[in-house]
Amino acid sequence: MKIVEAGDFEIYNIKRSTIPIVLNCNAFGSGEHETTRSCLEIISKLDFSNKTILDIGAGTGILSFASLKKGAKQAICFDISFEACKNLKENAHYNCLNNIYSVCSTIDAINSQYDVIFANIYSSIILSNVNNIDKLLKEEGLLIASGINYEYNFETRHEFEKLGYETQEVKFLEDYVTMVLKKCKTKI
């Protein structure tokens, strides 16, 4: 990922797609942390055409912005931090995105289903919300999860595999793991 400073903002160019993202970073998700970088690398390889996105713990909104600029139809971003939600809305404006919505709440406030879910958050939060995440992801949808400590890698995958998910990719980073899991169709 190439980072170019521009005053108080940073412009991020996502590999292979050269999509610029402008951020005023007052929340987590500047693109510098290894978990965010690995998610951006995964985004650069995927087709987001007409997909709906749910971004759990969205921070600045960088993952949703990248997906929207790669063709996603809509992104719903939520965070428990009011400051993060406020920063995300500002960043959406800087990136001329109007198909993104910021929700300052917990996962219980979300009740639709999405094609792709991002969860770049602590392992403990992912593990305590496995069933909630499953209810929010459409069949054949992708969960891109990061921020998972090595010691929770197998447990996290196992919990989702019990619900019928297939592991598409696992990236071992310096301190964390990023994984892409696909929700398989329910067998009739």
pTM of the model: 0.88
Rounded CA-CA distance 149/119 in Å is 13
Q: Please tell me whether residue 158 adopts helix, strand or coil conformation.
A: helix
Half-sphere exposure of 124 (CA within 13 A, CB side): 0
DSSP 1: -
Strand order in the sheet with 137-149: 100-104, 74-79, 52-56, 114-120, 137-149, 176-183, 165-172
Q: Please tell me whether residue 41 adopts helix, strand or coil conformation.
A: helix
**Domains contained in the chain, number:** 1
CATH classification of the domain holding 123:
3.40.50.150
Give the domain extent around 137: 2-183
pLDDT tens digit sequence for 21-61: 887 765 566 667 899 999 999 999 999 999 999 999 999 99
Q: Is residue 105 part of a domain?
A: yes
User: How many residues would you count in the chain?
Assistant: 188
Strand (E) positions, 15-96?
19-23, 52-56, 74-79
pLDDT tens digit sequence for 23-32: 776 556 666 7
Q: Is residue 12 part of a domain?
A: yes
Q: Is residue 31 part of a domain?
A: yes
Q: Is residue 188 part of a domain?
A: no
Rounded CA-CA distance 68/70 in Å is 5
pLDDT tens digit sequence for 71-120: 999 999 999 999 999 999 999 998 999 999 999 999 999 999 999 999 99
